[in-house]
Structure formats: structure tokens, C-alpha cells
Amino acid sequence: MRKVFVMPLLLVLILPVLSGCWNQKELTDLAFVMAMGIDKGEDKKFEVSFQIVIPGNVSTGQNGGAQGLPIAVYTSSGDTLTEATRKATKVISRRLYYAHTNLIAVSEEIAKDGLLDILDALDREPEFRTTTELVVTRKIPAIVLVSALANLDKLPVNKITKEIDSTEMMLGENMSVNIDDFLSGLVSKGKEPIVNGFIVKGEPEMAGKSADLQHTKALAILGAGGLAVFKKGELTGWVENENARGVVWILDRVKGTSVHVDWNGKKDAITMAIIRSKTNVSVKFKNGKPVIHVAIEDEGWISEANTAVDLMNPKDIEKIDRQVEIEIKQQILASVKEAQKMKSDIFGFGERVHRKNPKYWNKVKRNWGEYFANLEVKVKVDSYIRREGIRTKPFWSDFNQ
């Protein structure tokens, strides 16, 4: 009889524990932040811009979206990032929600002063994902990037993240860098972080204006622009073009790129498209000093042959392989030289020295930037052409007869 009364009583007592909606949030009460821009405002305050999606204008339902702009941009300022985001409630009618934030853009001015004062807030916020892409805007305020519109993508932020992915896949001069990656490089002993740079070509003042979308050729064009090199959390310089590609080679992040070589006295006559690449970095000690050995093995195919060449001749193929190896080696050594000028070990050579010889590392770690600047680096490249495309005999062979 007693059990009949005890069981209902227990059910009543555990009901409050089972209720899982204590922190529920209605969608109509949230403002979804897709991107954030951080600039330097007056009195050294943070000027933060929020790219907020307008759901009704990007809807893909039966009735389609409205004809309005897909985003709205709001700004707020504060002495800290937290203060700036909370002050945004003065101009935004909904609660800012960061779970879908895909991009953090910081201005070059902020980056030169250092990112240490903003990283903790981003890393600590429970709604914020530290896999969010991090970029530095070059010669433009971050708000320009956050406000920019795009033709091909409904959400402008997708253009930027997709552009980084596509350049990493095809060009090899950029690579995805998120907040976790930056923090990892920041706290690492023997490695400094890098971040993708972004520029606006053409007329930056047109970015964010709907009128720009009416042109078949946009007047303000967003584009990836080099890699930002940091030292102790502060922007110290840039590596661009082939030098940036050399950095990506060493970090073993090349997914695809192309290498041009001369042939028959014609500059850049033959192009090899890289389809696979593997980099191995090791350390050997010589006369008590570390020597870095970078070994690269890559495979590719001939994507262009703008000269007479017999691609069925093994000797010619071998000669092209050797020239490709020389070109890749030059790019890598040039990128190392640029980083050494800035005394910033963005390659993580110090980490490998630490693992190889902890005793030596303890002696040099406090001044590793100086040691890195004079570090000897040797590069060995093995390149192999696996395919010649669908045409093994270029028309140039008949054209020049």
C-alpha cells in the first residue's frame, strides 16, 4: 500500500529535473551574427561591426525570399570586445546569437597592435565556435569586408570562406586558418601563427551598396591577399604570391597548385598542375647547430605546353621534372628568407628542434627569433609527371614545322 503512494510522489519530485527547456530561445528573439569585423575606433576603443542575416530575404521556401538585402550591418564600440557587443543592444532589437558566426575580420591596424586583447573573449564565449575563420583586412577597415555584398552567394560571408577554400584547393597561396589554429600557434613554443589577408580591388566605397550588384562586373571586388605573419600576437609583415605558396608547401597544406617552367627559350612555356604533394620536415645537428631539412614529393600533370615538346619522350619528361623541382625549391627558400627577415618562425621549425634536442632548445628558446633568422634550411624536391593531359603532342610541334 505504501508503494502506491511513494511512486507518484517520486515522479512529481523528478519532473523539474526532466524539464529541458530552461534556457530555450525563440528564433524570433535572436539576431544571427554571420560575421564580425573589429576596427580601431576613437580613443583606442574597439569598433565592432556585426553582419546579421535577414532570414526572410534568404529563404528558399516555396514563395522564395523577399527582394531586400540578405544582411544588415550594425556597429558598436567599447573599451573591450565584451563591452562593444553588449552595447550593441542599444541599436539591435534582438539578442545577438553567435553559433552561426563563420568569419572574424580584424583590420590591419588592430592586428599590428596585437590580437591578444580580443582572443580571450572569442575563446571564452560558449556560443562562439573557435573553428570560425579568421582574416586580416589589408588597407581597408574590417567593416568594409563585413558589409560587402556578393552576387553568387546569398550570404556574403559564404563568398569569403568559399574563396579561401577554393584558393587553397587550386592555387596554394592561402589556407584555412581559424581561431583554434591561431591560438595553437600563439601558445606554441617554436611556432608563430599566420592568417589570411583580404583586400578590396576597384572601388572599396561601393562595397555594401546594392547598386554594385547591378553591374555584371562588380566595382568592389573582394579577394584573398597574401598571408599575414605574426610574432607574439602582433602583425609583423606579409608574404605574398610565390612566397606565400612556399609557406604552404612547408606546412604540408598544398592541395593543388601550378608550377611554370621555361622551355626552348620561352618563359613559362610549360605548366605542371600539382595533384598530390607530401612534405616532411626534419632536424639534424651539425657542429652543435640545428639544420632543417625539408623534403617534398609531388605528382602532377601537364596542363599547358605552349611550345614544341615531345611529351612521349621520357628524357623530356625527366627534364621537365627537374625544372619543376628547381622552381619549387626556389619558392620555398624565398619564403624562408622572407620569414627570417621578420624573425618569425611560422613554419614550426622550433617545435621540431625542441623535440629533437630539448637540452639545446632550453638554451635558445628565449631568443629563438634571432636563431631562426640565421637557421640553415636545406630543401629537396622530388617531382613526378604522371599524366600529359588528353593531348600528348602539342599543336606547336606541327605549327613550327
- 17 assigned to some structural domain: no
Across 65-91, average pLDDT: 86
Query: Is residue 1 domain-resident?
Result: no
**Does the residue 7 lie in any domain?**
no
Residue 65 above 80 pLDDT?
no
Same domain, 351 and 226: no
In sequence order, the 6+-apart residues with CB closer than 8 A to the CB of 326 are: 381
pLDDT of residue 64: 46
One domain for residues 291 and 359: yes
For the chain, what is the domain count?
2
Please give the average per-residue pLDDT across 253-258, as a whole number. 92
Same domain, yes or no, for 234 and 245? no
> Given a cut of 90, is residue 7 above it in pLDDT?
no
High-pLDDT (> 90) share of the chain, %: 53
Domain match, 231 and 314 both: no
Stretch among 61-65, 125-129, 170-174, 327-331 having the lowest mean pLDDT: 61-65
Identify whether 338 is part of a domain: yes
Residues 213 and 274 in one domain: no
12 within domain boundaries? no
Residue 332 included in any domain: yes
> Within this chain, do residues 338 and 359 fall inside the same structural domain, yes or no?
yes
Q: At which of 212, 239, 266 does a domain end? A: 239
Question: Which among 217, 239, 261 is the end of a domain?
Answer: 239
Q: What is the DSSP letter of 272?
A: E
Q: What mean pLDDT, rounded, does the chain reach? A: 87
Residue 189 confidence (pLDDT) above 90: no
Helix boundaries (H) for 33-90: 81-87
Q: How far apart are CA 397 and CA 401, in angstroms?
A: 7
Nearest to 83 by CA among 132, 117, 134: 117
* CATH code at position 300: 3.30.300.210
Amino acid 290: pLDDT? 95
Q: Are residues 194 and 234 in the same domain?
A: yes
Residue that finishes a domain, picked among 191, 222, 239: 239
**DSSP alpha helices (H): ranges in 48-104?**
81-87
Q: What mean pLDDT is predicted for residues 285-298?
A: 95
Q: Which residues contact 43 (CB under 8 A, 6 or more apart)?
A: none
Which residue range forms the structural domain that includes residue 194?
Answer: 25-239
Both 214 and 250 in a single domain? no
128, 44: one domain: yes
Domain presence at residue 3: no
Does the structure show a pLDDT above 60 at 385?
yes
Is there a single domain that holds both residue 247 and residue 235?
A: no
